[in-house]
Amino acid sequence: MLKIVQAPNPVLSQKTKEVKKIDKSILKLLEGMTQALLSAKDPVGVGLAAPQVEKSLQIFIAKPTLKSKNQVFINPKIIQKTKISHLTTDNDRGQQLNDISTKKLPANPRQTKLEGCLSLPNIWGEVKRESEITVSYLDEKGNLLTRKFSGFIATIIQHELDHLNGILFTKRVLEQKGTLYKSHKDEKGEDVFEELEI
């Protein structure tokens, strides 16, 4: 199975290359990425970009819920942003989700949703993302699609597109003058969040 690399692996800060042809090697990569994403359990993975498995290609997959079908995005581009930025406030039905991830800060009365990343374990932060985007991309069969996405899936897509441009979500948090948190498990096995000093 493909291994998900951790920051500061240099592949995570490189711009990816366009996929010229969807051949057997690309399909095999997609299969490996899907297995790697499904194997992420605490928290559950909802998206994975090719650089996270050390392939510098414009590919990512998204799976917003446990029951949703895996979606493949090859050479994706945002062609329209139709809503103003907001903090991620998806209805994730209580699931713990990662890369992207959403976790609730227990001590925060606003129930802030936090982004995380499988390549940055136990690091979380608030990120402002567009709530609705239109994306042009190829699927695994080579079909060119243009679709509008909103809510949580739009957040996942923007997080993964950042990966394709060599940007980790922590950079977005810092640009937006947000707060980063580190999590660990307490004696009951529940997540505890501590603010990181930057």
Task: State the pLDDT at residue 197.
Answer: 81
Cα–Cα distance between 179 and 164 in angstroms, integer? 24
User: Which distant-in-sequence residues (6+ apart) come within 8 Å of 75 by Cβ?
Assistant: 18, 19, 58, 137, 138
Cα–Cα distance between 176 and 174 in angstroms, integer? 5
Task: State the pLDDT at residue 20.
Answer: 97
- Which is nearest to 88 in space by CA: 123, 53, 116, 68? 116
- % of the chain with per-residue pLDDT over 90: 72
pLDDT in tens, 99-133: 444 444 544 434 457 899 999 999 999 999 999 99
Mean pLDDT across the chain, nearest whole number? 87
Q: What is the rounded average pLDDT of the residues 45-52? A: 97
Residue 83 pLDDT class (50, 70, 90 cuts) = low
Q: Would you name the residues annotated as active-site residues?
A: 160
pLDDT in tens, 162-192: 999 999 999 999 999 999 999 988 888 888 8
- 74, pLDDT greater than 90: yes
What the block records as the tokens of 156 is: 């996942």
Q: What is the rounded average pLDDT of the residues 2-19? A: 96
* Most confident by average pLDDT, 38-47, 73-82, 183-192: 73-82
DSSP H stretches of helix in 67-168: 152-164
Q: What are phi and psi of 11, to 5 degrees?
A: -60, -25
Q: What is the rounded average pLDDT of the residues 28-57? A: 94
Task: State the pLDDT at residue 106.
Answer: 47
Task: State the pLDDT at residue 112.
Answer: 59
Task: State the pLDDT at residue 39.
Answer: 93
Cα–Cα distance between 128 and 113 in angstroms, integer? 11
Q: What is the rounded average pLDDT of the residues 67-85? A: 88
> How far is C-alpha 28 from the chain's CA centre?
21
Q: What is the rounded average pLDDT of the residues 9-28? A: 98
Q: What is the rounded average pLDDT of the residues 7-14? A: 96
Task: State the pLDDT at residue 84.
Answer: 55
